[in-house]
């Protein structure tokens, strides 16, 4: 039962006889008056809702009337009170800390808030609470896997180093963690996300109308934020498991809770167990990640945040093809991410704020060639990425204005071969690549009337490739290859090699047809100057990144979207329909046999083409009652075309062909049955068309070895993918406020053990190939590779200890 | 107020990662094509060509040999022409005269005329320089390679090469190997008997064994069987340019039986174009099974139909330098143990005056000629 909370109300008629009234709230801790950030607040009926900002402040706009005001926040007793709004109002809510985590009131501030009233489209927000309800793999809460339950988001398979948004490739998504980019978001080649689970506060996924403050990728922006420490009492969480162990500490460092610290870490040393299993004797796997955040509230108007993120992996898996060129008995992969950031948030007034930040991201992947005698040849590459950003935000009655400047500088090390003392190997180093992006943007979200809203943004980006480097000039209108190279011009440190620039408009429109139905339209243009190049079904962490240069220009994406959103009168259901069309120019593709390992002239292995994507996304959501959940259906296509002049510069004879993430039909459902007291059951179902793959058109022999003959690309499709996940949570069975309360969580990933195909490949038959009837008289054996072919069960116990 | 929450006791069952299951190989067939593939080398007797035609019949795709084509090798700019002869023992294979060997500085191409009048030529290539092999040896590993089909590790002999890369040039390599073992049994018949060169099924079988083995007709040296590496192992010299390379693995031979074995390491010097062609093929074959499988790619060889509107002609004919080194040793228990298998020789019973026949030491790589390097 909710406790009585003191509500201090300041009756300040801030406006006249306006059609809507504003409720300005400030939410603080009852004990100490510390502002509480990210508190979920809701007015009902009407489902007007929001979250408090860093200073615990929130402004809600509603029509005059009688409402129930609800607020909920982890670690605090929920608040509920009737309220009559006649005029604009200021109020302070004081919440009392509570050891009970009551589930009776769920404040949904997610897409419902955005769905009807704002022009934003294609935006999904998931809080840490919602992430906890998603069944996971091997007991881990997984950010990327939870996103795959949303319309328009899929993966390349269970071992995929990222996600595909609306058919885009993995590197077309900008993935930020506390403002710094992350280049490899998974551990163990796609099985786990790198973000330390207990540190994640929420995720914003922009896949439609990407705000003008973001740029550099053409498919989506995934903005992941860690928790903000200091405003909550000290909390320690931990876990011990067969795969990984984790520990998180979130605590204020002073009595007034001005300074807060978050430290969360996870480590896995799986390969200690692998030698027990014959098949895994040559498999190595270790990973670790950690998040650190220090937040200081200098006063009522200034907040400083220092953040850091660390992630490291080492693995050796037979299922990853060996890299040629350097002989080795095994290839090992190791990669390190080390990010940091410093941010200053200053409120000039309640409506005018400045945010200045600096971030640094270091990504260092390594490929180790293990020799017969245990020696090691190392291939090192890396990205050093620096960002400086200043953003000004101003809110008036009808406008939310924003503007800012951003400067990105990235230095790529495409590869350095270190012999490591192994004889016969020559040290090699490719020339570094440096790119800078200077951007300025303005954006305005304008509430023209109660029915009509408009968002307009404009981003201008000026990109430069800087020396040291080379400008290689080829014969015009001819294939880029060694034979058409005309000239090589060197550039010194800091000299401009090439410049690309352009405007990127972002437009959105929201029209409320009725109080429960709204229509939206949006357009966004984006450019991508940094891209991942890999001639494979999915990139490995050591896959090469490439800056735009005179021969490899940026990719450009234009996205058009339309949408319809409807909320039922009883506020239980929300329905969304979105349709989109995306055009990509200067799409990157690869020549047959493209190999970027130690290749100083990668442009000779790249092709430029065009892409088009289109789709319809349907969502039905129920957010209250015993059964809550979401159903999504997506029909989406992505097609590429590379129409060169010769057989080496065109693909599929210059016709349109399915893109690598072309999955026409996807159905997902996420259902939660909560009986209200103790038990909560969850089911996730995914049914989708699988990826395209290539069936050979025949075979030839090379040196006596039968080799599949591929005259086309992506001419067939893998069998349909479907999977059912189950979770069962038993909450605090005695439902008493005790020093010790516990939850049991039982999850099953892939409940009925569907053997989903990841790839189909052909290999010449030899003496070791079994004489199976399925191969008949073919010179090839064909195999289907799947990742999880059996249910994965996990059982965990969570308890709360109150000393 | 201190909160402590602990996560404990995670239990896992049945984690199946990376399952590989056989599936039916299917093809999306295009128009029929001719396939011309081969090489001209600087070693006498080692230049050969295969000429075949694709055939889709009985739901199978095959490459049928063409034995009545006309094959000419021509030196570009010199006018020298050499006619190659069809090998009567290997249909579809054409060989240069025994004394034919490409010399340094020469550029050669081939012209193939098919029975239907189709004429194809290859692009001329310059003979690359040969690189010296400094040493060749083997290293044994009892658990050398995991064989998915057998779900076990198998013992292997790793073949290791030392060589010196020339300085100042961009070099392209391919490695292969072949090996000889002595054969005792040259024919085996399952639930049948060997007569007149073939297995005749017999309904009545007097023993529980399902197989009869027939000894090889052999010279006093015995019968030898040659097998090839059948691999695509290529590299540039980027990582070791101009240096001495040691312990370069060039292949593996499974340890299947005891006894002597003669292994020949073969090192080719290739042109850049031949390397590119072979590299694409190698990536398709070797790199297709991983989680990061190479994207399928078209093989754009250097053979083309002189009539662009005529039948499709695919393939690659290269000019390559060839360096070899041989090594003989006896496989015995000091190395380790081969995987268990049935090594019993089951001869058809003699019933005087009937004695079971012997099978000729020929076909399938068999030869009664002792290979060079096999000790007396």
Full DSSP string of A81-130 = EEEEESS-EEEEEEEPB-S----S-----SHHHHHHHS---SEEEEEHHH
B353 to chain A, closest Cα gap in Å: 38
Q: What is the DSSP string of B35-53?
A: EEEEEEESSTT--EEEEEE
Three-class DSSP category at A554: coil
Q: How confident is the model at residue A759 (pLDDT cuts 50, 70, 90)?
A: confident
Same domain? A484 vs A451: yes
Q: How far is CA B267 from the centre of its chain?
A: 14
Q: Which of B291, B289, B18 is nearest to A539 (CA)?
A: B291
* A149 lies in the same domain as A202: yes
pLDDT, position A332: 85
Q: Record the tokens describing residue A286, joined without a space.
A: 């270790």
d(CA A362, CA A310): 10
Residue A465 or B203, more confident? A465
Query: Over 50: is that where the pLDDT of A174 sits?
Result: yes
Q: Is residue B176 part of a domain?
A: yes
Among A residues 595-634, those touching chain B with beta carbons less than 8 Å apart: 595, 598
Measured between CA atoms, how close is B7 to chain A, in angstroms? 4
Please report which confidence band the pLDDT of residue B205 belongs to, taking 50, 70 and 90 as the band edges.
low
pLDDT at A2 over 50: no
pLDDT mean across residues, chain B? 85
Higher pLDDT, A76 or A476: A476
For residue range B319-353, list pLDDT tens digits in order: 999 999 999 999 998 888 888 887 888 888 888 88
Q: Given an 8 Å threshold on Cβ–Cβ distance, is A189 in contact with B291?
A: yes
Note the pLDDT of residue A97: 64
Cα A246 to Cα A399: distance, rounded to the nearest angstrom? 44
User: Average of pLDDT values for A795-799?
Assistant: 67
Mean per-residue pLDDT, A333-354:
93
**What backbone phi and psi angles, to 5 degrees, belong to A272?**
-65, -30
Verify that A143 and A93 share a domain, yes or no.
no
**Residue A594 pLDDT exceeds 50:** yes
Of the listed ranges A136-150, B9-23, B71-85, the one predicted with least confidence: B9-23
The pLDDT value recorded for residue A10 is 29
How far is Cα A86 from Cα B225, in angstroms, rounded to an integer? 99
User: Does B81 lie in the same domain as B47?
Assistant: yes
CB–CB contact B295 A535 (8 Å): yes
Q: Are B292 and A99 within 8 A, CB to CB? A: no
Residue A768, pLDDT score: 67
Say if B20 falls within a structural domain: no
Per-residue pLDDT at A712 = 85
Answer whether residue B372 is part of any domain.
Answer: no
Lowest mean pLDDT among A187-196, A257-266, B106-115: A187-196
Q: What is the pLDDT of residue A767?
A: 66
pLDDT at B134 over 60: yes
pLDDT recorded at residue B146 = 75
**Domain presence at residue A543:** yes
Q: Looking at residue A15, what is its pLDDT?
A: 32
**Pair (B231, B301) in one structural domain:** no
| pLDDT for position A46 | 66
Q: Dihedral sign for Cα B138, B140, B141, B147, please.
A: positive
3-state DSSP assignment of residue A144: helix
Judgement on whether residues B138 and B40 belong to the same structural domain of the protein: no
Residue of A nearest to B3 (CA): A235
Which pair of structure tokens corresponds to residue A731? 């909450």
pLDDT, tens digit, for every residue of A348-365? 988 899 999 999 999 999
The arithmetic mean of pLDDT across residues A175-185, rounded, is: 94
B140, B126: one domain: no
Cα dihedral sign, A764-A765-A769-A775: positive
Is the pLDDT at A780 greater than 50? The verdict is: yes
In a domain, A111, yes or no: no
The predicted-structure confidence for A623-645, as pLDDT tens digits, reads as follows: 777 888 889 999 999 999 999 88
Residue A683, CB half-sphere, CA atoms under 13 Å: how many? 10
Mean pLDDT of chain A: 83
Query: CA of B27, closest CA in chain A: separation in Å?
Result: 5
CB within 8 Å: B6 and A238:
yes
Cα distance between residue A803 and residue B16, in whole Å? 42
Cβ atoms of A82 and A45 closer than 8 Å: no
Percent of chain A's residues with pLDDT above 90 = 38
Cα distance from N-terminal residue to C-terminal residue, chain B: 89
Q: Is the pLDDT of residue A102 over 70?
A: no
| A/B interface, count of CB pairs below 8 Å | 353
Count of positions (residues) in chain B: 376
Which residue segment(s) compose the domain that A12 sits in? 7-100
Better pLDDT: A255 or A392: A392
Does B35 score more than 70 pLDDT?
yes
Q: What is the pLDDT of residue A189?
A: 66
Is the Cβ pair A775, B25 closer than 8 Å?
yes
Contacts of B306 (CB under 8 A, 6+ apart): B119, B120, B121
Q: Which of B321, B340, B356 is the last residue of a domain?
A: B321
Confidence band, pLDDT 50/70/90 cuts, at residue A407: very high
- Residue A114 above 50 pLDDT? no
Does the residue A646 lie in any domain? yes
Residues in B closer than 8 angstroms to A788, CB to CB, are: 15-17
**Same-domain status, B156 and B256:** yes
Say yes or no for a CB contact (<8 Å) between A99 and B1.
yes
Any domain includes A171: yes
Among A73-82, A410-419, B70-79, the minimum mean pLDDT is found in A73-82
Indicate whether B263 pLDDT > 50: yes
Specify if B10 maps to a domain: no
Least confident of A430-444, A542-556, B338-352: B338-352
Strand partners, B33: B312
Task: Tell whether the model's pLDDT for residue A141 goes beyond 70.
Answer: no
CB-CB contact of A97 with A78 (8 Å): no
In a domain, B54, yes or no: yes
Residues A41 and A140 occupy one common structural domain: no
- Cis ω for the linkage preceding B74 (within 30 of 0): no
Regarding whether B204 and B105 lie in a shared domain, the answer is no
> What tokens were used for A616?
């319809």
Residue B140 lies in a domain: yes
* Last residue of one domain, picked from the residues A35, A67, A100: A100
> Per-residue confidence at A323, pLDDT binned at 50, 70, 90?
low
3-state SS, residue A678: coil
Among A662, A671, A658, A669, smallest CA distance to A635 is for A662
Q: Is residue A105 part of a domain?
A: no
- Among B194, B324, B336, B173, CA closest to B263: B324
A802 and chain B: CB distance < 8 Å anywhere? yes
- Which range of residues forms the domain containing residue B232? 133-269+325-367
Strand pairing class (B192-195; A302-316) = unpaired
List the single range of A507-516, A576-585, A619-628 with lowest mean pLDDT.
A619-628
Looking at the structure, do residues A77 and A129 belong to the same domain, yes or no? Answer: no
The per-residue pLDDT for range A675-729, each reduced to its tens digit, is 766 788 888 899 999 999 998 888 888 888 888 888 888 999 999 999 998 888 8
Is A55 inside any structural domain? yes
More confident residue, B33 or A373: B33
Residue A119 covered by a domain: no
Angle at B10 between CA B6 and CA B16, to 5 degrees: 150
Cα distances (Å, whole numbers) of residue A676 to A103, A681, A729, A730, A796: 7, 11, 12, 11, 21
B347 and B250 in a single domain? The answer is yes
Query: Within this chain, do residues A73 and A218 fall inside the same structural domain, yes or no?
Result: no
In this structure, the answer to whether residues B182 and B293 fall within a common structural domain is no
Kindly state whether residues A90 and A160 are assigned to the same domain. Answer: no
| Domain identity same for A128 and A68 | no
The DSSP code sequence of A179-208 is TEE-S--EEGGGTEESS-GGGEEEEEEESS
CA–CA distance, A604 with A591 (Å, rounded to integer): 8
Contact (CB, 8 A) for B34 and B311: yes
Residue range A544-565: mean pLDDT, rounded: 94
Q: What is the pLDDT of residue A47?
A: 59
Q: Do B16 and A790 touch (CB under 8 A)?
A: yes
Of B30, B60, B146, the CB nearest to A279: B146
Residues A587 and A637 in one domain: yes
B60 and B75 belong to one structural domain: yes
Closest CA of chain B from A107, distance in Å:
23
Q: Is A125 on the interface with B (CB under 8 A)?
A: no
Q: Can you give the pLDDT at residue B6? A: 30
Quick one: A77 and A162 in the same domain? no
Q: Token pair of B65, please?
A: 């040999």
Q: How long a stretch of residues is chain A?
A: 803
Q: Rounded to whole angstroms, how far apart are CA atoms A625 and A674?
A: 8
pLDDT exceeding 70 applies to what percent of chain A? Answer: 84
Distance CA A109, CA A128 (A): 12
Please check whether residue A107 lies inside any domain of the structure. no
Inform me whether the pLDDT recorded for A770 exceeds 80.
no
CATH number of the domain to which A72 belongs: 2.60.40.1120
Q: Which of A420-424, A542-546, A670-674, B246-250 has the lowest mean pLDDT?
A: A420-424
Least confident of A39-48, A127-136, A209-218, A570-579: A127-136
Are B19 and A713 in contact (CB < 8 Å)?
no
* Total structural domains within chain B: 2
The pLDDT, as a whole number, for residue A704 is 80
If one counts the domains in chain A, the total is 2
Confidence label for B15 from pLDDT (cuts 50, 70 and 90): very low
Both A84 and A211 in a single domain?
no
Is B199 part of a structural domain of the chain?
A: yes
In terms of domains, do B329 and B360 share one? yes
Q: pLDDT at residue B313 above 60?
A: yes
B76 pLDDT above the threshold of 80: yes
The total of other beta-carbon atoms located within 10 Å of residue A137's CB is 21
Which of residues A504 and B217 earns the better pLDDT score? A504
Which of A237, A319, A593 is facing B291, going by the closest CB pair? A319
Whether the per-residue pLDDT at B300 is higher than 80: the answer is no
Number of other CB atoms surrounding residue A1 within 10 Å: 9
Q: Residues A58, A11: one domain?
A: yes
Per DSSP, B274 falls in state: H
Question: Which residue, A66, A85, A100, sits at the end of a domain?
Answer: A100
Q: How far is A767 from chain B (nearest CA, A)?
A: 10
Average pLDDT score over residue span B178-193: 91
Q: Which of A668-677, A714-723, B146-155 has the highest mean pLDDT?
A: A714-723
Query: Residue A105 pLDDT > 50, yes or no?
Result: no
Predicted ipTM > 0.90 = no
Q: In CATH, what number is assigned to the domain containing residue A363?
A: 2.40.170.20
Higher-confidence residue of A493 and A747: namely: A493
**pLDDT band for position B208 (cuts 50, 70, 90):** low
- Identify all chain A residues contacting B135, using CB atoms and an 8 Å cutoff: none
In this complex, is the C-beta atom of A189 within 8 Å of any C-beta atom belonging to chain B?
A: yes
Residues B76 and B126 in one domain: yes
Tell me if B18 is assigned to some domain: no
- How does residue A531 score in pLDDT terms, banded at 50, 70 and 90? very high
Residues 11-70 in A contacting B (C-alpha not used; CB under 8 Å): none
Distance linking the first and last C-alpha atoms of chain A: 23
| Residues in Cβ contact with A570 at an 8 Å cutoff, skipping those fewer than 6 apart | none
User: Are B58 and B181 in the same domain?
Assistant: no
């Amino acid at each position: 039962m909710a406790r009585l909370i003191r509500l201090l109300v300041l009756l300040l008629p801030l406006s006249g006889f306006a059609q809507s009234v504003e409720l300005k709230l400030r939410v603080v801790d009852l004990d100490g008056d510390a502002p509480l950030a990210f508190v979920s607040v809701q007015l009902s009926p009407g489902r007007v809702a929001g979250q408090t900002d860093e200073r615990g402040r929130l402004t809600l706009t509603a029509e005059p009337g009688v409402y129930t005001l609800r607020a909920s926040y982890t670690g605090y007793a929920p608040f509920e009170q009737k309220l009559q709004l006649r005029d604009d109002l200021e109020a302070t809510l004081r919440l009392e800390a509570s050891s009970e985590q009551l589930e009776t009131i769920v404040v949904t501030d997610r897409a419902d808030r955005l769905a009807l009233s704002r022009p934003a489209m294609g935006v999904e927000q998931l809080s840490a609470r919602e992430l906890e309800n998603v069944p996971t793999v091997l007991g881990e809460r997984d950010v990327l896997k939870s996103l795959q339950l949303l319309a328009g988001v899929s993966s390349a398979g269970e071992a995929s180093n990222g996600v595909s948004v609306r058919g885009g490739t993995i590197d077309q998504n900008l993935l930020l963690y506390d403002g710094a980019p992350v280049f490899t978001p998974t551990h163990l080649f796609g099985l786990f996300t790198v973000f330390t689970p207990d540190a994640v506060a929420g995720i914003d996924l922009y896949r439609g109308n990407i705000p003008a403050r973001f740029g550099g990728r053409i498919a989506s922006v995934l903005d992941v934020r860690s928790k903000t420490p200091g405003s909550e009492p000290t909390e320690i969480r931990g876990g011990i498991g067969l795969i990984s162990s984790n520990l998180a500490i979130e605590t204020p460092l002073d009595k007034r809770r001005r300074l807060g610290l978050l430290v969360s870490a996870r480590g896995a040393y799986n390969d200690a167990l692998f030698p027990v299993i014959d098949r895994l004797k040559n498999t190595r796997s270790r990973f670790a990640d950690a998040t650190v955040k220090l937040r200081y509230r200098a006063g009522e108007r200034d907040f400083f945040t220092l953040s850091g993120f660390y992630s490291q992996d080492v693995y050796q898996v037979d299922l990853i093809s060996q890299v040629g060129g350097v002989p080795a008995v095994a290839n090992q992969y190791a990669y390190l991410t080390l990010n940091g950031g410093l941010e200053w948030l200053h409120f000039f007034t309640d409506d005018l704020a400045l945010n200045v930040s600096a971030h640094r991201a270091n990504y260092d992947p390594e490929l180790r060639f293990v020799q017969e005698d245990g020696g090691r040849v190392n291939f090192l590459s890396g990205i050093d990425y620096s960002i400086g950003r200043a953003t000004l935000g101003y809110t008036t009655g009808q406008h939310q204005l924003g503007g800012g400047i951003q400067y990105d500088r990235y230095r790529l090390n495409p590869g350095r071969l270190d012999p490591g003392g192994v004889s016969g190997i020559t040290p090699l180093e490719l020339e570094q690549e440096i790119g800078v992006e200077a951007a300025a943007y303005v954006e305005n979200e304008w509430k023209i009337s109660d029915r009509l809203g408009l968002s307009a943004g404009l981003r201008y980006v000026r990109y430069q490739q800087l020396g040291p480097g080379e400008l290689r000039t080829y014969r015009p209108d001819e294939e880029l290859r060694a034979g058409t190279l005309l000239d090589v011009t060197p550039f010194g440190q800091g000299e401009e090699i090439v410049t690309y620039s352009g405007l990127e408009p972002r437009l959105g429109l929201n029209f409320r047809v009725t109080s429960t139905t709204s229509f939206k339209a949006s357009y966004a243009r984006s450019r991508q100057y940094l891209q991942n190049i890999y001639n494979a079904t999915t990139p490995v962490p050591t896959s090469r990144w490439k800056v735009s240069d005179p021969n490899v220009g940026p990719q450009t994406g234009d996205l058009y979207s339309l949408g319809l959103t409807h909320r039922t009168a009883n506020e239980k259901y929300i329905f969304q329909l979105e349709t989109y069309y995306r055009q990509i120019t200067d799409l990157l593709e690869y020549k047959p046999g493209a190999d970027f390992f130690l290749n100083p002239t990668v442009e000779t292995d790249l092709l430029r083409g065009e892409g088009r994507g289109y789709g319809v996304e349907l969502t039905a959501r129920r957010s209250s009652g015993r059964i809550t959940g979401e159903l999504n259906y997506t029909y989406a296509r992505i097609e590429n075309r590379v129409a060169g002049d010769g057989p080496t510069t065109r693909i599929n004879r210059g016709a349109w062909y399915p893109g690598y993430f072309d999955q026409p039909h996807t159905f997902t459902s996420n259902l939660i049955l909560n009986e209200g007291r103790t038990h909560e059951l969850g089911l996730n179902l995914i049914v989708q068309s699988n990826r395209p793959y290539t069936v050979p058109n025949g075979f030839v022999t090379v040196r006596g070895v039968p080799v599949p003959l591929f005259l086309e690309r992506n001419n067939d499709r893998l069998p349909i993918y479907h999977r059912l996940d189950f979770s069962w949570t038993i909450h605090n069975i005695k439902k008493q406020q005790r020093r010790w309360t516990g939850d049991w969580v039982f999850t099953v990933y892939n409940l009925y053990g569907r053997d989903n195909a990841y790839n189909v490949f052909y290999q010449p038959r030899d003496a070791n190939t079994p004489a199976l009837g399925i191969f008949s008289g073919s010179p090839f054996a064909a195999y289907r590779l799947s990742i999880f072919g059996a249910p994965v069960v996990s059982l965990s116990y969570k308890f709360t200890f109150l000393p | 107020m201190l909160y402590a929450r602990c996560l404990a006791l995670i239990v896992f069952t049945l984690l199946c990662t990376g399952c590989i299951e056989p599936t039916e190989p299917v093809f999306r067939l295009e128009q029929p094509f001719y396939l011309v593939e081969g090489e001209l080398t600087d070693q006498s007797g080692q230049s050969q060509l295969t000429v075949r035609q694709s055939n889709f019949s009985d739901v199978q795709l095959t490459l049928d040999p063409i034995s009545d084509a006309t094959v000419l090798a021509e030196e570009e700019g010199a006018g020298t022409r050499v006619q190659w002869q069809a090998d009567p023992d290997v249909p579809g294979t054409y060989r240069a005269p025994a004394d034919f060997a490409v010399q340094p500085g020469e550029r050669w191409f081939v012209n193939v005329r098919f029975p239907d009048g189709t004429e194809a030529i290859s692009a001329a290539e310059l003979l690359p320089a040969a690189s010296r092999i400094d040493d060749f040896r083997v290293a044994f590993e009892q658990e050398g390679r995991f064989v998915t089909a057998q779900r076990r590790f198998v013992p292997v002999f790793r073949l290791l090469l030392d060589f010196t890369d020339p300085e100042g040039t961009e070099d392209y390599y391919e490695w292969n190997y072949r090996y000889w073992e002595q054969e005792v049994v040259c024919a085996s018949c399952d639930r049948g008997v060997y007569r007149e060169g073939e297995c005749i099924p017999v309904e009545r079988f007097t023993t529980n064994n399902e197989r009869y083995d027939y000894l090889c007709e052999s010279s006093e040296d015995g019968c030898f069987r040659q097998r090839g590496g059948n691999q695509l192992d290529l590299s540039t010299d980027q990582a070791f340019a101009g240096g001495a390379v040691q312990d370069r693995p060039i292949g593996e031979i499974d340890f299947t039986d005891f006894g002597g074995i003669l292994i020949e390491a073969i090192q080719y010097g290739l042109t850049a174009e031949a390397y590119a062609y072979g590299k694409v093929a190698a990536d398709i074959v070797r790199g297709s099974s991983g989680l990061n499988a190479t994207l399928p790619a078209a093989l754009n060889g250097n053979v083309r139909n002189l009539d662009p509107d005529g039948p499709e002609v695919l393939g690659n004919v290269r000019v390559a330098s060839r360096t070899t080194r041989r090594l003989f040793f006896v496989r015995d228990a000091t190395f380790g143990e081969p995987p268990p298998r049935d090594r019993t020789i089951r001869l058809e019973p003699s019933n005087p005056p009937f004695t079971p026949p012997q099978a000729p030491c020929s076909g399938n790589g068999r030869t009664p000629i002792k290979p060079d390097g096999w000790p007396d």
